[in-house]
Structure 1
Amino acid sequence: MFTKIGMGLATAVLALGLSTPASAETLRYAHVGAEGDLQTRYASEAAQAIQDATDGNINVQVFPASQLGGVAEMVDGVRMGSIDMGHHDFASLARIVPEAAVFNAPYIYRDAEHALHATAPDSPAVQKINQQLIDKGGVRIIGRIYRGKRHISSNFAVKSPDDLSKKPFRAVPLDLWVSMVKGFGATPTPVAVSELPTALMTGLVVGQENPLTMINANQLYEVQSHVSLTGHMDSVLAVFVNERKWQSLEESDRQAIEAVLDDKAEQSLQWAQASESELIQTLQDKGMTVFGEEDGLDVAAFRDQVRAQIDKDFPNFKPYIEMIAEVE
């Protein structure tokens, strides 16, 4: 169980509940997810399962909710080795290899299962990116998390890109998101996740996009009135590790960790799919209006404009998108 953020890092570390050998290797695992988010459950359960699977050889300490810094600080920390592992959108690794962002590109997966298979560490596209990450940044992808489809929330009805024309809209502070928000027709305004509720409340931005689990966990229903089920991204996060630390572990422990993360990836897909309809009802009960295609939401218009903007801004994605499309 996690303590409140303000109680400090020492008490915020995940308590695994099992005694560990004096010789156990400790891995510091950071992420930006809030309590109640699916990704936070993933990290917590994976940490416990890794300790079990390695017979206590590996002790994982999880630092959630940006306790070790925001996305950029986390990625740089893993590169330098001050943080051993972390997870975030694949696009966060574009700081090292720009093409890594392709796995978060909008409207490139056929469905959720395809997204999970195409982002597995043994898929051809991930293997190609992974080798570049290792060579250029000393970082290796070892797993992934499926969080669900990302949708738009706003403080007014959004049924087509015209409704967002030139309005300030929150973009994750990554180039891919800036491009996507341009495709929405809006004006991209980078805002860190920790500052998002305030930015929405003050009107710095009029909307944002995220999986429903995040919209609910971060209580965005308090500052947003509408959700548009655009499903523009299958939100898949990369789990990555410092390569030097990874190679310092026993091979049997590395294999055990990979097996745990793969199992948890499959579970995350099940969690996300099971919670989608329940979350829609929850958000409606909390006062939000939810629009789907049956309510006049023009998903095709969003798809066409966003893909055109991505193709324009990221022509180097094309061979990777083709590789992703070939995954069964």
Structure 2
Amino acid sequence: MKLRYAHVGSEGDIQYWYGDEAGKRIPKATGERVQVQVFPNSQLGGVQELIDGVRSGAISMGHHEFASLARLSKDIAVFNAPFIYRDGAHALAATDPQKSEVLIEFNDKLAKDGGMRIVGRLFRGARQMTAKMAVRSPADLQGKPFRGVPLQLWTTMIKGFGAIPTPVEVAELPTALMTGMVVGQENPLTMINANKLYEVQTHVMLTGHMQNVLPVFINERVWQGIGADDRKAIYAQFEALAQDTLQQANKAEQDLIGELKKKGMTFVTEQDGLKLAEFRERVITEVNKDFPSWKPYIERIAAVK
């Protein structure tokens, strides 16, 4: 059996490495019975084409954000919610397709209504807050414009930060920060470094407010057409890859903290007075208000060991 695996990640992104490794490991683990041809960098289309393609079977499998599956499975975007995970290890535990009860429940609905199921996941790291001053609590951002991704979930989160959500395209972000159109933004450290935001921001707050975990999904008919032993082998490979991405992301974060300090950025942690519990409480309150149906899922995800 030959699987077509598509994703939108480009070279240098952990997504690209993950897809490449899956393409090598799965054939080996299945005695070459399951072959994988990987199409990275949106070669088979953007996100919409990817989801539609996996649903129809034109594409066997792929990976992207949980939110991109929302029209196939109501409330599945809860796995993208801010402050829902304690850390990366918790994010992987809560999204384990074989052990997490809440993910298994969503998977049943996804297989029934969307014609696909989640069989793995990868970890891309945590998003952190930056600003041109130290931010220790939501009060420090009260009434200040803060860059947000133009999606409802980000608008909700930034209101919880205490700030005024202000949409800015990534390409325009350095200019917006330099001119004071916005006082801060949030992104993984990799992006903060790559986009040279250390030139226009002075402080990084280690809020870890979003743990970025992406699901790997496969067409349900294709999955059922794979033998039980090979399905088991594929699960094992995706689990090993998930843990590899967690280790890589944690190491990259530690390396980048040192690098960004050398470039003049000051890091603010709970030891420095960062009121993480206050941010978490405020943000979750806003999420509960704007996404009321998520509350029971958030509680169940929080309880995952």
TM range (shorter): 0.7 to 0.9
Secondary structure of the structure 2 residue equivalent to 1:31? coil
Secondary structure of the structure 2 residue equivalent to 1:121? coil
Secondary structure of the structure 1 residue equivalent to 2:31? coil
Q: What is the aligned-residue identity percentage?
A: 54
Letter in structure 2 aligned against 1:169:
R
CA distance in 2, matches of 1:100, 1:248: 25
Residues 145 and 238 in structure 1, CA contact (< 8 A), matched pair in contact too: yes
After superposition, the Cα gap between the structure-2 partners of 1:137 and 1:313, relative to the gap in structure 1 and judged at 3 Å, is same
**CA apart distance, 1:274:** 2.7
Whether 1:26 aligns to 2:7 is no
Whether 1:235 aligns to 2:240 is no
Q: Which residue number corresponds to residue 29 of structure 2?
A: 53
Secondary structure of the structure 1 residue equivalent to 2:70? helix
Whether 1:79 aligns to 2:52 is no
Q: Which residue number corresponds to residue 125 of structure 2?
A: 148
Residues 144 and 183 in structure 2, CA contact (< 8 A), matched pair in contact too: no
**CA apart distance, 1:134:** 1.5
1:288-326 deviation line (CA, Å, top 9, x unaligned): 443323344332332121011011112211222232233
**CA apart distance, 1:154:** 4.4
After superposition, the Cα gap between the structure-2 partners of 1:262 and 1:93, relative to the gap in structure 1 and judged at 3 Å, is same
Residues 6 and 50 in structure 2, CA contact (< 8 A), matched pair in contact too: no
Residues 85 and 91 in structure 2, CA contact (< 8 A), matched pair in contact too: yes
Q: 1:91 aligns with which of 58, 67, 91?
A: 67
Q: Which residue number corresponds to residue 143 of structure 2?
A: 165
Residues 144 and 182 in structure 2, CA contact (< 8 A), matched pair in contact too: no
Whether 1:276 aligns to 2:253 is yes
CA distance in 1, matches of 2:265, 2:256: 11
**CA apart distance, 1:180:** 1.6
After superposition, the Cα gap between the structure-2 partners of 1:60 and 1:179, relative to the gap in structure 1 and judged at 3 Å, is farther
Q: Which residue number corresponds to residue 307 of structure 1?
A: 284
Letter in structure 2 aligned against 1:210:
N
1:117-149 deviation line (CA, Å, top 9, x unaligned): 111002110011111112222121111112232
Secondary structure of the structure 2 residue equivalent to 1:98? coil
Letter in structure 1 aligned against 2:295:
K
Letter in structure 2 aligned against 1:324:
I
CA distance in 2, matches of 1:186, 1:95: 29
Whether 1:321 aligns to 2:298 is yes
CA distance in 2, matches of 1:189, 1:60: 42
TM-score, normalised on structure 2?
A: 0.84
Q: Which deviates more, 178-187 or 215-224?
A: 215-224
Secondary structure of the structure 2 residue equivalent to 1:57? coil
**CA apart distance, 1:226:** 3.9
Whether 1:101 aligns to 2:74 is no
CA distance in 2, matches of 1:288, 1:311: 34
Secondary structure of the structure 1 residue equivalent to 2:130? strand
**CA apart distance, 1:232:** 1.0
Whether 1:40 aligns to 2:13 is no
1:190-249 deviation line (CA, Å, top 9, x unaligned): 67xxx62x1313428664433324444566556655422111122221111222332333
Q: Which residue number corresponds to residue 125 of structure 1?
A: 102
Q: Which residue number corresponds to residue 200 of structure 1?
A: 173
**CA apart distance, 1:93:** 1.7
| 1:288-299 equivalence runs, <5 A | 288-299=265-276
Q: Which residue number corresponds to residue 13 of structure 1?
A: none
| Residue ranges of structure 2 left out of the alignment (5+ in a row) | none
Query: How many residues of Structure 1 are paired with residues of Structure 2 in the alignment?
Result: 299
Alignment RMSD (CA, Å): 2.8
Q: Which residue number corresponds to residue 184 of structure 1?
A: 161
